[in-house]
Amino acid sequence: MFHAMISAIIILFISIFGIYFIVPLENSLFIMHIFWMFASFSFGFVGAYILEKSNKDTFLTHEELLVISRTDCLTGLQNRSRLNEVLHNKIERFKRYSNQFAVALVDIDFFKDVNDTYGHQVGDQVLVEMADVIKEDIRSTDELMRFGGEEFVLIYEEVSLEDVMKITQNLRLKVESHNFGVVRKKTISIGFTLCNENDILMSIIKRADQALYNAKGNGRNCVEFL
């Protein structure tokens, strides 16, 4: 907008210079030409400003709607819709550059008991606090999203099996020692998997989900790899 305005001003003054010095006009004609030039410039400038503002507002609205569509309204984390996009990109990068990553599903143990005993408002507070506890432990290259209900998903970039086992065990212990207010103590079960060359979006999620199922079957408050 700024550059367009400068260009228009330069053209306007060149035009004025031309009709005053190069092709001189009578005073009445000169004044009339000046009037119409400034009028055209003013209308053009106002029109360009309105159009730019309208386009900018439309762009911002689109961006805001995009963020909202990808965000869980309770925890503020990215949601499952965003997960599909992120995982697709991670898998493509793995196949092209061999950038290994892990997907971990985290489930709050016996979360239904929280809602049944204390009500859904307290249950929501536990979910928000759990999200905050997990966020404290992730690196800038990792991704944390709400998978749905009482489940979260973590994507760890550039890791080995040993790395993820250590990270997830530390997370499990951290949650176990955390005080969740009126609920006091809660634990989590974690199932994780590493990407392989044959993976697609659903296969890696399915494998992580099976690992989580194994963790629940083994007594909960533990980590399982598949």
Would you name the residues annotated as active-site residues?
150
User: Which is nearest to 198 in space by CA: 104, 86, 91?
Assistant: 91
- Which residue's structure tokens are 């993976």? 199
Identify residue 100 by its one-letter amino acid code.
Q
Identify residue 205 by its one-letter amino acid code.
I
Handedness of CA 136, 206, 102, 67 (dihedral sign): negative
User: Which is nearest to 101 in space by CA: 141, 155, 166?
Assistant: 155
Q: How far apart are the first and last CA of the chain?
A: 56
Handedness of CA 115, 119, 125, 129 (dihedral sign): negative
For 189-225, b/e burial (b = at least 16 CB within 10 A) is: bbbbbbbeeebeeeebbebbbebbbbbeeeeebbbbb
